[in-house]
Structure 1
Amino acid sequence: MSRPRAFDKNRRSDVDDPLQPFAEALRERAPSREALLVEGKAMTESRRKRKKTAYTGMLVLAFSAATWLLDPAWYHEDIHVAIGQRQQLQLADGSRVELNSGSHLIIEKRLRSRQLELRHGQALFSVVHADTPFIVRSQGVSVRDIGTVFDVRSDARGVDVGVVEGAVEVSSDRTASVRLNVGQQLRASSAQVGEVRPVDVAALTAWRQDKLRFDGTPLREVIADLQHYRRKPLRLADAQIGELRLSGEFDSGSVEALIGLLPTILPVSIARAADGTVSFSKIR
């Protein structure tokens, strides 16, 4: 009688394990451990790239929104007008600017507004209506157009704004806006906006016809106006004579002749220095 064969659990064969063929087929179809690791790394890298792309998109969107709100200037154009000359400009939106003698204007291109800076001098702005606001800045003063023609003069006295047609809003760094209508003018600085006063529109724009019009104008104001047409300084040696008044219409192209004429009109004397400076004094 034969003895039963002992069972060897470590010995397996195709005959002993009928499921072996299926296990082999399954192993061929299932990925290896190495393949799973490679796939896992690829998925992790893909998620990282998607997050980075989304974050970058959010940054771009935030930057675009901030840029739109801040409205930075992305282009500047400097315009300088020589002493004794005038210049006319037509802006991209169709608005027109006429610059007086010795003026310096900066034209800015922005996303949400049309802005210009009058560094010094005088300019007449004829504004075309548009969706974006039209703003002229000078010495901390802002003039916002409300559909109009207006004149801005900027010098040592401050910023004078006068309205020829329509209306504007004038504000400074420290004050609220003040509305000016046609035939009105004010003087402003970065610290304050002066009182509104009537103005003769013809006198306001006389410089466009090369004329200087004075109607009981204090001499200190006359000299400040004449300085726009002269490179060398004009000075008051005596503050009291600054209150003397001058009336009349004069040719802005003959400023030197007018300076020489002043002692025959007012009780003043003039002294011309070698460097071209002219000083006005009270007659002793």
Structure 2
Amino acid sequence: MSDAIQLEQKIALEAIEWYLALSEQTDDKLLYQQWQAWLAADPQHQLAWSRIEQVNNELNTLPTPLSRAIAEKTLFKTDKSRRHVLRSLAGIAVMSGGSWVYFKNETLLLPLLADYRTGIGETRSVTLSDGTQVDMNANSAFSIAYSENQRHLTLISGDIMITTAKDTRPFLLKTDWADLKPVGTRFYVRQRDNTALLAVYEGAVDFIRGNHLPLLRVKAGQQLSFNATELGSVMSAQESMLAWQQYMLVADNMPLTEVVAELQNYHHGWLRCDPSIAERRVSGTYPLNNIEQVLKALAATLQLELVYRTRYWITLKPQQKI
């Protein structure tokens, strides 16, 4: 898939997030101003928004036009109606190379269908019904399935820090590639496209895969990386991984491509790193609430060039020699 199509998908999903936020918070003047700024920032934003309006006008179950829908406080009163709208909006289209691209893959919308989610640059702290605390990094999503006999969470994307509450029901966190069963604990899980990481700060967490028996127990002060087929070595857990809770990124000899991936969670737009510099190493502490400042600092330190297609579409490339 080309960068252009990936960007357009990202913008389309941002537009849907704005649609939902405005529909759920109809009296938030600041939110409305932020949406107006996002809309004016890029013609692609306006195009994606116009497609949402078109889809909305085709839905018999919703009032039209969109401006009236936003004003209605009764919109999205139930999960069922909200999910119906999201699935309908999965048909949103954006222009790509002169042809229309439709999002038929519901996995793109899974974060928006989650019980709890955060957007670009947004962190959140959630207290569940049993008292369990979940701190969410930006661009993260998870769902819950509590019953009389169990407490199950499913991490759909992003990063969450969990402090479990005491309860007679067993607790289980499901990720794409393993189940994690905490034993009275505080632990952090980060899930990306191709890898995940578990870090335990209090108690212990049983790592379960396949036959549903614990493969190993990760104890306090330890961390473990894993994916669909591989399991990394147990290493010392780093508190610096939680710097996002203070809107900071701490890089310790981190590949530039990973730094850019973390910054992407706080940037409304598209950040790319030229493959030729992807493995350059970065060390330092960077503020996540000022991505432009961070990019300029990286460019100066690593002798890079920032190439802007738009204000929000930025590529890091090697500095051209004169």
Select 1:150's aligned residue among 181, 187, 208: 187
Structure 1 stretch displaced more, 222-231 or 246-255: 222-231
| C-alpha distance after superposition, 1:141-195 (max 9, x if no partner) | 2211011100111122421111111111223448962321222212212323222
In 1, Cα distance between the equivalents of 2:150 and 2:260? 36
Tell me what 1:98 maps to.
135
| C-alpha distance after superposition, 1:73-93 (max 9, x if no partner) | xxx961121221211111111
Tell me what 1:250 maps to.
286
Instruction: Read off the aligned partner of 1:189 and give its amino acid letter.
Output: N
In 1, Cα distance between the equivalents of 2:144 and 2:194? 23
Tell me what 1:177 maps to.
215
- Compute the RMSD of aligned alpha carbons: 2.2
| Contact 1:172–1:192, Cα closer than 8 Å, also in 2 | no
Secondary structure at 1:205's aligned position in 2?
A: helix
Give the TM-score normalised by the residue count of structure 1. 0.67
Select 1:186's aligned residue among 218, 224, 234: 224
Within a 5 Å distance, the mapping from 1:1-284 to structure 2 comes to: 78-173=115-210, 177-201=215-239, 203-238=240-275, 240-274=276-310, 276-284=312-320
| Contact 1:81–1:101, Cα closer than 8 Å, also in 2 | yes
Change (3 A) 1:111 1:191: farther
Secondary structure at 2:258's aligned position in 1?
A: helix
Secondary structure at 1:220's aligned position in 2?
A: helix
Secondary structure at 1:256's aligned position in 2?
A: helix
Instruction: Read off the aligned partner of 2:216 and give its amino acid letter.
Output: V
Secondary structure at 1:101's aligned position in 2?
A: coil
| Contact 1:89–1:96, Cα closer than 8 Å, also in 2 | yes
Change (3 A) 1:232 1:131: same
- Please list every run of 5 or more consecutive structure 1 residues that lacks an aligned counterpart in the other structure: 1-75
Change (3 A) 1:187 1:174: farther
Q: What is the CA-CA distance between 1:226 and the residue it aligns to?
A: 1.3
In 1, Cα distance between the equivalents of 2:254 and 2:141? 26
Secondary structure at 1:278's aligned position in 2?
A: strand
Instruction: Read off the aligned partner of 1:85 and give its amino acid letter.
Output: E
Tell me what 1:9 maps to.
none
In 1, Cα distance between the equivalents of 2:225 and 2:308? 31
Change (3 A) 1:178 1:231: farther
Instruction: Read off the aligned partner of 1:182 and give its amino acid letter.
Output: A
- Please list every run of 5 or more consecutive structure 2 residues that lacks an aligned counterpart in the other structure: 1-112
Paired residue total:
207
Instruction: Read off the aligned partner of 1:118 and give its amino acid letter.
Output: L
Give the TM-score normalised by the residue count of structure 2. 0.59
